[in-house]
Amino acid sequence: MKSYLKKKNPSVPQSVLDMIPQYISEGEAEGVRGDIAFAQSCLETGNLTFSGSAVTLSQNNFCGLGVTQRGKTGLSFESPQLGIRAQVQHLKAYASTDALVGEGIDPRFRYVKRGCAPYVEWLGQKENPRGKGWAAGEKYGEKILSILKAVMEEGKVQFMESITLSAPYMVRVAIPDLNIRRGPGTSFQKTGKFTGVGVFNIVEEKDGWGLLKAYAEKRDGWISLAFTTRM
């Protein structure tokens, strides 16, 4: 979520980045997915830029809570955590009929038809079969899910970039002409050398390529792990 937001809003304040884990913790407390609440906040506030939004950062209101008509400024909360908590509680009001686990701080909780939007898509009044929902805008819920998908894709990228923790280990090469390249990929220049048949130590792994121990100092000797067998 942090990585997604930094890409969408490069000037995002550190204070906003620091509050993002609270979406998860507050969501877990009430059985609501915090990443959905975060995606909704991105939609409502222009990725926390608050550009064109009815609320400001100082209100600690990240979902337009209380903005019931054009020109209304919405509710304010004492801290980012309380603002996120109120948002999570409001989502829970729509999603289920379960009682709140924590103390209710969402002033508009009582106005929601409980359990009327168990699916994110139904948060949009036009898509809700009962005509209820959080917002009147067309495909409101679908827009939230689109942001959520982008957040999760960003998470996959971050995960793949971090996979260097499985090395060191040994691999067996069964072909005599496995090229050694100066970097992890076919776009890097060949060294002109081959591993030959044998067993080799891999000290780092990246994107399906392994760094040979003999080249570890200069990090200029990589082989494709697709042609090896891990031991």
pLDDT score of 58 more than 60:
yes
* CA distance readout (Å), 114 to 19, 101, 107, 111, 176: 28, 15, 15, 9, 68
pLDDT for 133: 94
Per-residue pLDDT, 140: 97
According to CATH, what is the number of the domain 2-161? 1.10.530.10
Q: Does residue 184 carry a pLDDT above 80?
A: yes
Overall CATH class of domain 169-230: mainly beta
Q: What is the predicted pLDDT for the residue at 166?
A: 61
Q: How confident is the model at residue 33 (pLDDT cuts 50, 70, 90)?
A: very high
User: Can you read off the two tokens belonging to residue 57?
Assistant: 């950062």
Domain ranges of the chain: 2-161, 169-230
The pLDDT value given to residue 162: 58
pTM of the model: 0.70
pLDDT recorded at residue 71: 67
